[in-house]
Amino acid sequence: MCSAPTVPERDLIAQDIHAYLDRYRNKELLRFVAVGSVDDGKSTLIGRLLHDTGMVYQDQLESVKRASNIEGEEIDFSLFTDGLRAEREQGITIDVAYRYFATEKRKFIIADTPGHIQYTRNMVTGASTANVALILIDARLGVLQQSRRHAFIASLLGIPHLAVCVNKMDLVGYDQQVFERICRDFREFSDTLTIPDVSFFPVSALKGVNIVEPSEKTEWYDGPNVLEYLETVEISEDWNTESFRFPIQYVIRPNLNYRGFAAQIVSGSIEKGDEVLSLPSGKTSTVESIDTFDGSIGSAYTPQSVVIRLADEIDSSRGDMLVKKSDLPHVGRDFDAHMVWMSETPLDLQKSYLIKHTTQAVRAQVTKIHWAKNMDTLEEEPATTLELNDVAKVNMDCHRAIFFDDYGQNRATGAFILIDSLTNATVASGMIVGPETHQDLDDALKELRAGSGLQPKTQVSPKERLEKMGQRGATIWLTGLPGSGRWSLAYALERRLFDLGRTATVVDPTNEDLRSIISAAKACTDAGLVTICAFPSYHKEDRDNLRERLGDDRVIQVYVNTDEKLCRERRPDADFSGFEAPQNPDLVVALDQVRLDKAIEFIVEALEKRGQLKV
Amino acid sequence: MISKRQLSHLRQLEAESIHIIREAAAEFDKPVMLYSIGKDSSVMLRLARKAFAPGPLPFPLMHVNTTWKFKEMITFRDEIARKHGLTLIEHINQEGVEANINPFDHGSAKYTGIMKTVGLKQALDEHQFDCAFGGARRDEEKSRAKERVYSFRDRFHQWDPKNQRPELWNLYNGTITKGESVRVFPISNWTELDVWLYVLIEKIPVVPLYFAKERPIVWREGSMIMVDDERMRLEPGEEPEMRKVRFRTLGCYPLSGAVDSEADTVEKIIQEMLLTRFSERQGRLIDFDEDGSMERKKREGYF
């Protein structure tokens, strides 16, 4: 086994290092994502690419040879790419791993992602920056649902080129018909997607067939091998070179005379003297200078990171975007997007999240799920929430306008991530589906100047409150005769809940009418408090009114059914007439028969059972 | 070959790194750049200067000094800081110094743990940095292949492989709660060859120890160790041997193995590297402990 670079390169390195370096420094960069399940032989294929292109060092080779379980000649190529301890123990790849190799023509970054259904998240991550998706199919099994899933995700993430490697051809006797049937089956599905370019390769990663060298085993195949394809597939068109987008990252102000906007040109190009428009201000100016560490340059293009100085003093800052007037992005607060849910915690439609889009972070809410993809059938289905690895089309509403393009047109300005502001986790990725409607500059500016698109409302959802406070808001309404001990029970209950680490309050009995008291109880309950009321509410009507305003599930009615005789003895002066005993109270406690602390435990238990308190 | 309006892979990597450095500098309250004086740090520093030119770096550099670095490294470090007017924080684990922790008596693992890992945590805590740039690359070691560009650390500086945020496109999530921090690796996607090539075309100064020269060495466990100062413990009667060597990675001199070499220019280093085919970390004794040891160190907060 030779692990040296391919011969001409090696000679060049030895004989003329300067010529080699000149060649190397001008190489193109291609990023590809490799997907396949545990058994498709993906690790073996990548290990083979690394090994056969000379990217495996002798000492790595030695350690892999030592670690290979199989005795004898064959090397377990998959061991080159094996990473974390946990993964080695489980024998599967559990996260995206990045690997690097170069050939005479290009330099490659591989995002190596596992292909199980539960790891959609990983494939999406790896696919987000890829030019090419390399999908592995086991020749013996043909096109499985999983392969369709992979193709679907590749298309969703806007990968322009798909390379389908039909692997393990050695196990089907290099049968051309098997290969062609798989190509047909795959095409039938991929034709329904938006992938501009699909190619097929009959390979055996294990035997090294059609990976980096042609093979006589597949004489019927006259296409390129996998490496040739990767070296030659046309990727210069993959960049959006049309629309100039410059999302400002940082303002550089070393002194009063210099104010430069630092950013990466995420698409398009710019020249000195070009007129630019700054969003959201809508102000225009001309490019006075394009600066870099190595001096000013006349023009710059994607993906260069530069500093732009403008002829006029425009107050732009991070999150703003410089664009050209003739080619504006959409400006808006609300848009549709494809979304991949990446968190164990499901989507909460009540909650506002933070989205990071280009260089700005904005509060936003998912207002609607148009559909979610059933990943087994790839059918679109209605959904009420999104869980880990769900793929859906949703509507988003932002608290202020962002500047975006359709993801299919511009990956950089069409992509966003969703962040849970309580846990700070990245919970979803989004790809904006551009609106059909055309927007001119006036429309865009109008959109920017309009008030907030969302009705101002709480940004804390009931679920978040429950998580933070360990409780959901509830009102405990104590009903009973005068002298039944309602108030004593109310205050003792408040104390007990406080000691349990809960937040509870007794609505104070000052001279308020019942309507105001109910309003107070509602406000406290909305805030997530356990609200305790003990007002005399003699009539069924009053209690119905309360239930209606607070919602049945948030009211616990406790009938304090202390013996009437005792009550009358305690409160000889009180008015006992007209009391309508509750028909269906949630709880009945008679304080002449149970001790106060026991009664309290009953109530706490009822709260827990109802899910108002997190146990 | 690349066409006119297309960036070469190296310029793409450069643009990506600058983007990352600017993002982190903009989003974190108190970033710091961990400067280890090696070639990767030198490249990272150049990228950072490019990111904010013509302005100054908006964050300081910090060097965690184990007190056993090569003398030439310290000289080089101070010269770079002076020349570019950089703010340099040097941190030394004083408890370690007082306990006389050294690689000879305590072994490489314990010594590195105390002087480097603990030292780094002390420094980050003392200055309340919420973001630390590091010059690590994913191609350095197998367990680093899955490292994120933004590597999230809890308030004990621990790295949990199961609790890292997915990273998509160039959108990095830098939101943290007080006390937590993020290690940011702007040159994650660079390979060793990329780094050297960049050093070459950008004419970035590197510590002379990378270049072959006659140096006094002794043999320790199959590695050539340079006798950099009088603290090197010699066997009775042992005489350092003069040998033309260079270092592929720089760290603490008693733990850095030299290689025989004739390469005294960057071109020759690249040539030698490509032709000899030994992975970079083999010259570094601390990784020999056990398979998967880098992963363990990372969990403990080592870079």
Tell me, yes or no, whether A228 lies in a domain: yes
Scan for tokens 């086991």, then name that residue. A138
Burial of A282 (0-12, 13-18, 19+ CB in 10 A): middle
- Give CA–CA dist A600/B17, Å, rounded: 62
DSSP annotation of A209 reads: B
Region A105-127 average pLDDT: 82
Closest CB to B7: pick one of A20, A303, A307: A303
Q: Give just the sign of the alpha carbon dihedral B20, B26, B29, B34.
A: positive
Looking at the structure, tell me whether residues A251 and A108 fall in a common domain.
no
| Cβ proximity of A402 and A360 under 8 Å | yes
In this predicted model, what pLDDT tens digit does every residue of B226-285 receive, in sequence order?
A: 999 989 989 898 899 999 999 988 989 999 999 999 999 999 999 888 877 644 545 544
Closest CB to B200: pick one of A21, A262, A305: A21
Strand A330-341 versus strand A426-433 pairing type: antiparallel
Q: What is the pLDDT of residue A566?
A: 87
- Give CA–CA dist A546/A586, Å, rounded: 14
In this predicted model, what pLDDT tens digit does every residue of A148-172 receive, in sequence order?
A: 888 999 999 999 999 999 999 999 9
Contact: B50, A292; criterion CB under 8 Å: yes
DSSP annotation of A217 reads: G
Q: What is the pLDDT of residue A465?
A: 77
Burial of B183 (0-12, 13-18, 19+ CB in 10 A): buried
Q: What is the pLDDT of residue A584?
A: 83
Contact: B267, A21; criterion CB under 8 Å: yes
- Tell me the angle at which helices A145-156 and A120-127 cross, rounded to the nearest 10 degrees: 40
Contact: A236, B200; criterion CB under 8 Å: no
pLDDT band at A419 (very low <50, low <70, confident <90, very high): very high
For residue A123, the enclosing domain spans: 7-237
Q: What is the pLDDT of residue B201?
A: 92
How distant is the Cα of A313 from the closest Cα of chain B, in angstroms?
18
Q: What is the pLDDT of residue B186?
A: 98
In this predicted model, what pLDDT tens digit does every residue of B134-168 receive, in sequence order?
A: 999 998 877 778 889 999 998 888 887 667 788 99
Tell me, yes or no, whether A226 lies in a domain: yes
Contact: B277, A264; criterion CB under 8 Å: no
Q: What is the pLDDT of residue B286?
A: 45
Tell me, yes or no, whether A491 lies in a domain: yes
CATH of the domain at A281: 2.40.30.10
Return residues 301-320 of A near B (CB < 8 Å). Answer: 301, 303-305, 307, 318
pLDDT greater at residue A213 or residue A184: A184
Region A373-398 average pLDDT: 92
pLDDT of A5 above 60: no
Looking at the structure, tell me whether residues A365 and A306 fall in a common domain.
no
Q: Give just the sign of the alpha carbon dihedral A223, A229, A231, A237.
A: positive
How distant is the Cα of A342 from the closest Cα of chain B, in angstroms?
8
Region A277-289 average pLDDT: 94
Residues in chain A closer than 8 A to B165 (CB atoms): 425-426
How distant is the Cα of B116 from the closest Cα of chain A, in angstroms?
23
Q: What is the pLDDT of residue A74?
A: 60
Looking at the structure, tell me whether residues A208 and A257 fall in a common domain.
no
In this predicted model, what pLDDT tens digit does every residue of A320-345 receive, in sequence order?
A: 999 999 999 999 999 999 999 999 89
Looking at the structure, tell me whether residues A293 and A396 fall in a common domain.
no
Contact: B271, A17; criterion CB under 8 Å: yes
In 3D space, the residue among A166, A32, A37 whose CA is nearest the CA of residue A106 turns out to be: A32
| Cβ proximity of A229 and A199 under 8 Å | yes
Region A22-44 average pLDDT: 84
Region B92-104 average pLDDT: 92
Scan for tokens 């993964």, then name that residue. A87
Segment (H or E) for A33: strand A28-36
Tell me, yes or no, whether A468 lies in a domain: yes
Looking at the structure, tell me whether residues A311 and A452 fall in a common domain.
no
Residues in chain A closer than 8 A to B284 (CB atoms): none
Q: What is the pLDDT of residue A451?
A: 59
In this predicted model, what pLDDT tens digit does every residue of A48-95 receive, in sequence order?
A: 888 877 766 555 566 666 655 544 456 666 666 554 444 545 444 457
Number of domains in chain A: 4
Q: What is the pLDDT of residue A77?
A: 65
- Which of A179, A206, A237 terminates a domain? The answer is A237
- Which of A237, A256, A286 terminates a domain? The answer is A237
Contact: B55, A97; criterion CB under 8 Å: no
B24 → chain A, closest CA residue: A249
Tell me, yes or no, whether A564 lies in a domain: yes
Based on its alpha-carbon atoms, the radius of gyration of chain B, rounded to whole angstroms, reads 19
Looking at the structure, tell me whether residues A279 and A335 fall in a common domain.
no
Looking at the structure, tell me whether residues A29 and A117 fall in a common domain.
yes
- Which of A237, A254, A273 terminates a domain? The answer is A237
Return residues 239-298 of A near B (CB < 8 Å). Answer: 239, 241, 249-250, 252-254, 258, 260, 262-264, 266, 269, 291-294
In 3D space, the residue among A426, A268, A250, A433 whose CA is nearest the CA of residue A335 turns out to be: A433
Region A405-416 average pLDDT: 95
Closest CB to A417: pick one of B171, B176, B191: B171
DSSP one-letter string for A480-549: E-TTS-HHHHHHHHHHHHHHTT--EEEPP-SS--HHHHHHHHHHHHHTT-EEEE------HHHHHHHHHH
A127 → chain B, closest CA residue: B168
Q: What is the pLDDT of residue B149?
A: 94
pLDDT of B301 above 60: no
Looking at the structure, tell me whether residues A85 and A173 fall in a common domain.
yes
In this predicted model, what pLDDT tens digit does every residue of B206-225 receive, in sequence order?
A: 999 999 999 999 998 888 99
Q: What is the pLDDT of residue A59?
A: 56
In 3D space, the residue among A591, A608, A602 whose CA is nearest the CA of residue A488 turns out to be: A591
Rounded to two decimals, the pTM is: 0.82
Tell me, yes or no, whether A1 lies in a domain: no
SS3 A397: strand
Region A106-110 average pLDDT: 92
A95 inside 8 A of chain B by CB: yes
Tell me, yes or no, whether A507 lies in a domain: yes
Contact: A305, B145; criterion CB under 8 Å: no
Largest CA distance in chain A: 113
Region A387-392 average pLDDT: 92
Looking at the structure, tell me whether residues A524 and A583 fall in a common domain.
yes
Burial of A337 (0-12, 13-18, 19+ CB in 10 A): buried
Tell me, yes or no, whether A351 lies in a domain: yes
Looking at the structure, tell me whether residues A31 and A160 fall in a common domain.
yes
Mean of pLDDT over chain A: 86
Min mean pLDDT across A241-255, A384-398, A427-441 is at A427-441
Contact: A29, B13; criterion CB under 8 Å: yes
From residue B166, alpha-carbon distances to A341, A389, A510, B163, B273 in Å are 11, 12, 54, 9, 34
Per-range mean pLDDT, top range of A185-194, A447-456, B197-206, B290-299: B197-206
Looking at the structure, tell me whether residues A227 and A349 fall in a common domain.
no
The first and second tokens of residue B143, run together, are 């367990």
pLDDT greater at residue B22 or residue A3: B22
Which of B159, B169, B267 best tests the A interface by mutation, with the highest count of A CBs <10 A?
A: B169
Residues in chain A closer than 8 A to B151 (CB atoms): none
Q: What is the pLDDT of residue A79?
A: 63
Looking at the structure, tell me whether residues A516 and A542 fall in a common domain.
yes
Q: What is the pLDDT of residue A458?
A: 67
Q: What is the pLDDT of residue A4?
A: 43
Give me the total of CB pairs closer than 8 Å, taking one residue from chain A and one from chain B.
202
CATH of the domain at A157: 3.40.50.300
Contact: A14, B271; criterion CB under 8 Å: yes
Contact: B161, A84; criterion CB under 8 Å: yes
B188 → chain A, closest CA residue: A98
ipTM of model: 0.90
In this predicted model, what pLDDT tens digit does every residue of A559-583 receive, in sequence order?
A: 998 888 888 888 888 888 888 888 8
Q: What percent of chain A has pLDDT over 70?
A: 88
Return residues 379-418 of A near B (CB < 8 Å). Answer: 411-412, 415-417
In this predicted model, what pLDDT tens digit does every residue of A214-233 receive, in sequence order?
A: 888 889 999 999 999 999 99
Strand A269-271 versus strand A299-301 pairing type: antiparallel
